[in-house]
Amino acid sequence: MKAEHFLTQGVTQAIENLYPGTVVPIEFQATRKDFSGDITLVVFAMLKVIKGRPETIGDQIGAYLVANLPEVTAYNVVKGFLNLSLSDAFYLSAFEQILATDEFGHAAPSGRALMVEYSSPNTNKPLHLGHIRNNLLGYSVSEILKAAGHKVYKTQIINDRGIHICKSMWAWQNYGNGETPQSTGLKGDKLVGNYYVKFDQVYKAEQKELMTQGMTQEEAEAQAPSIKAAQQMLRAWEQGDPGVVELWKTMNQWVYDGFDQTYAQLGVDFDKNYFESDTYLLGKKDIEQGLSSGVFYKKEDGSVWCDLTEQGLDQKLVLRSDGTSVYMTQDIGTAIQRMSDYPEANGMIYTVGNEQDYHFKVLFIILARLGYSWAQNLYHLSYGMVDLPSGKMKSREGTVVDADDLIDQMQQTAKEITENLGKIEGLSKDQRSKLYKTIGLGALKYYILKVDPKKRILFNPEESVDFQGNTGPFIQYAYARIQSILRRARSEYAEALGNNQWTDLSLADKEKSLVKTLMQYPDKIQEAAQAYSPALIANYTYDLVKEFNAFYQNVSILGASEDAVLSFRVSLADKVGQVIQSSCRLLGIEVPDQM
């Protein structure tokens, strides 16, 4: 039951009664905390139609609602705002509806299907801190869209070809001495990443030597033997050289195996993987069709372009003069291929860093010009960089913050803080290990997801594991506290829990406030889905936990004097725990039963 529904009808009737024949805009908002009331009617919005003082208009409408709607018990007017107080019976009825709703907050299927792309790593190095934000955002947005009623297909495109891949291959071939993940005990992506770093070391040393012989920096970069060898290896791969292709398959498989381990640690998954080695030639036929229809034009040198000056952009190259593709060509073809693979999908979300903002503006315009109706439903989930206090990361120099290392560090930090707080009595070694992982990953995920995707993040591992404040562990601890209350209630007050005669209960302010916050959950899911922002779910969960803590500290749950009151308060705590668990699941966060 949403208050806006019956209040809109009531206000409409009040206006018709007080100002016959008048139709006004009806706008509600949450009542400010420093005012008395549960919901506020914005009277200012009516002044274009109704002439008079807003205080007088508000007073007249308020009096009418109190007289005619049993749910409205009182009102007050502050300037152009009519603050309405709602009855305890309304909130009790709303809570009973919440209890009766399966998967409260989740919407019925909408019939809309969307594709979400995230991760999209290169197979020359392990996943790093930037990939963590990408994966957490893409996965969470996918889960939120599902909760909002949409069908979702989760995909990634793996960049498994190109000069950067050949650099790692060449370095391993020349310096690897036959090393494998099995022989070294290293994850495959880490082993391959080591040789990407090795290539850069060799390449720089060669440049330095060539410059001592009189070459310029630019000449040395082009003439260094290592880069020329890597370029030759790329040409051999493109020509299907059996030896090069076999090495490429072997080393890529090492990396895929390593990625799978990291994805399992993070708790993310995909419905389909695309590989650039399969898609890099896509798009050419689409460019040819666009040429014939006037979407593109050809220059004298044979190169093909798209004129985007009408959109305030520039001229965009889509095919080189020698007929080879650029990234835009591939992305055009890949988008079309994906939508062909999933005809049910009518839109797509690309989870890619904000350095690609311009690229996606161009891509979406071109796809729309090519006549694809789904191009109107494409969205670039643009996000800012993640920094650590130690500074920026550079993968070629081996200074990247490795995703696996960060996950391990988070678990170790969680272990140290939890042990210092003395919260692990009675837990076995295995239970403790699982708890440290749950807390550490929860801290990492929440710290990243609570921030608006567009903002840059300075990630502080120790701050993220704080058990106080807007953190994952703070929320997890509230859930564990609720489970402790429920265990005791079911053990010691089982008979009282059967008393559900709540109709005539009087609610304390903290009880009412907690029910009000619970009621917001379905709308928050829809808002987060529309904004593609897990931050809205994260911060709602924090607000819910704060409301629960205020309720817990001010109202005795198990010490209630009446069975019906005890039963209501335990049911309220139980539902809050369920919503915490549900919202955390949308963020990919697990919640422990005990901390």
Q: What is the pLDDT of residues 239-272, one digit of tens each?
A: 999 999 999 999 999 999 999 999 999 999 999 9
Give the residue-averaged pLDDT of 296-317: 95
Q: Of 384-388, 473-477, 510-514, 552-556, which range is least confident?
A: 384-388
Q: DSSP labels for 229-258? A: HHHHHHHHHHTT-HHHHHHHHHHHHHHHHH
- Count of CB atoms situated within 10 Å of the CB of 385: 16
User: pLDDT-derived band of residue 393, with 50, 70 and 90 as boundaries?
Assistant: very low
Query: For residues 2 and 519, what is the distance between their CA atoms, to the nearest angstrom?
Result: 8
* Residue 391 clears pLDDT 60, i.e. is over it: no
Selection from 321-325, 387-391, 422-426 with the highest mean pLDDT: 321-325
The vertex-237 CA angle with 233 and 241, nearest 5°, equals 100
Query: For residues 479 and 186, what is the distance between their CA atoms, to the nearest angstrom?
Result: 37
**What is the 3-class SS of 276-326, one letter each residue?**
HHHHCCCCHHHHHHHHHHCCCEECCCCCEEEECHHHCCCEEEEECCCCCEC
Query: For residues 572 and 560, what is the distance between their CA atoms, to the nearest angstrom?
Result: 13
The strand pairing partners of 81, in sequence order, are 42, 78
Of the candidate CATH numbers 1.10.275.10, 1.10.357.10, 1.10.730.10, 3.40.50.10860, the domain formed by 403-586 belongs to: 1.10.730.10
Residue 514 confidence (pLDDT): 97
Handedness of CA 577, 138, 456, 416 (dihedral sign): positive
The strand pairing partners of 298, in sequence order, are 304
pLDDT, the chain, mean: 94
Give the residue-averaged pLDDT of 441-455: 96
313, 480, 488, 591 from 484: Cα distances, Å: 59, 6, 6, 13
% of the chain residues with pLDDT over 70:
98
Give the residue-averaged pLDDT of 563-578: 97
Give the residue-averaged pLDDT of 290-315: 95
Architecture in CATH for domain 3-86: 2-Layer Sandwich (3.30)
Give the residue-averaged pLDDT of 204-233: 96
Residue 151 backbone dihedrals phi, psi, to 5 degrees: -80, 135
Give the residue-averaged pLDDT of 120-133: 93
Handedness of CA 250, 251, 256, 258 (dihedral sign): positive
- Work out the burial of residue 347: count CB atoms within 10 Å of its CB; fewer than 13 is exposed, 13-18 middle, 19 or more buried: middle
Cα dihedral 381→536→520→153 (10° resolution): 30
**The token pair that represents 269 in the structure block:** 């998954």
- Work out the burial of residue 80: count CB atoms within 10 Å of its CB; fewer than 13 is exposed, 13-18 middle, 19 or more buried: middle
Give the residue-averaged pLDDT of 286-294: 95
Contacts 24+ apart (CB under 8 A), 365-368: 365/308, 365/311, 365/313, 366/290, 366/295, 366/306, 366/316, 366/318, 366/328, 366/332, 367/332, 367/335, 367/336
Q: Which residue has the higher pLDDT, 400 or 206?
A: 206
Residue 110 confidence (pLDDT): 93
Give the residue-averaged pLDDT of 68-92: 96
Pairing of strands 81-86, 72-78: antiparallel
Cα atoms in the Cβ-side hemisphere of radius 13 Å centred on 129: 28
Query: For residues 327 and 319, what is the distance between their CA atoms, to the nearest angstrom?
Result: 9
Query: For residues 114 and 132, what is the distance between their CA atoms, to the nearest angstrom?
Result: 22
Query: For residues 177 and 174, what is the distance between their CA atoms, to the nearest angstrom?
Result: 8
**The token pair that represents 535 in the structure block:** 């931050």
> Quick check: 273 and 156 in contact, CB under 8 A?
yes
How many angstroms from the chain centroid is the CA of residue 11?
Answer: 38
Residue 106 confidence (pLDDT): 97
* Residue 395 clears pLDDT 70, i.e. is over it: no
Query: For residues 68 and 231, what is the distance between their CA atoms, to the nearest angstrom?
Result: 81
Helix (H) or strand (E) holding 472, with range, is helix 472-492
Q: Which residue has the tokens 């905390």?
A: 33
pLDDT in tens, 108-123: 999 999 999 999 999 9
Query: For residues 88 and 72, what is the distance between their CA atoms, to the nearest angstrom?
Result: 10
Q: Of 260-269, 346-355, 495-504, 537-546, which range is least confident?
A: 495-504
Residue 398 confidence (pLDDT): 43
Considering all CA atoms of the chain, what is the largest pairwise distance in Å, rounded to the nearest integer? 95
* Residue 394 clears pLDDT 50, i.e. is over it: no
> Quick check: 92 and 502 in contact, CB under 8 A?
yes
Q: Which residue has the higher pLDDT, 426 or 138?
A: 138
Say whether pTM exceeds 0.85.
yes
E-strand ranges in 344-453 read 348-353, 378-383, 386-387
Give the residue-averaged pLDDT of 345-362: 97
**Helical segments of 148-187, H only:** 163-175, 181-184
Give the residue-averaged pLDDT of 216-229: 96
Residue 379 confidence (pLDDT): 98
Domain ranges in the chain? 3-86, 162-266, 403-586
> Quick check: 252 and 123 in contact, CB under 8 A?
yes
Give the residue-averaged pLDDT of 347-355: 97
**The token pair that represents 173 in the structure block:** 């071939």
pLDDT in tens, 20-61: 999 999 999 999 988 999 999 999 989 989 999 999 999 999
Q: Please, which residues have CB within 8 angstroms of residue 205's CB and are 6 or more apart in sequence?
A: none
Helix (H) or strand (E) holding 152, with range, is strand 151-158
Q: Which residues of 364-380 are buried (b: 16+ CB within 10 A; e: fewer)?
A: bbbbebbebebbebbbb
Residue 33 confidence (pLDDT): 86
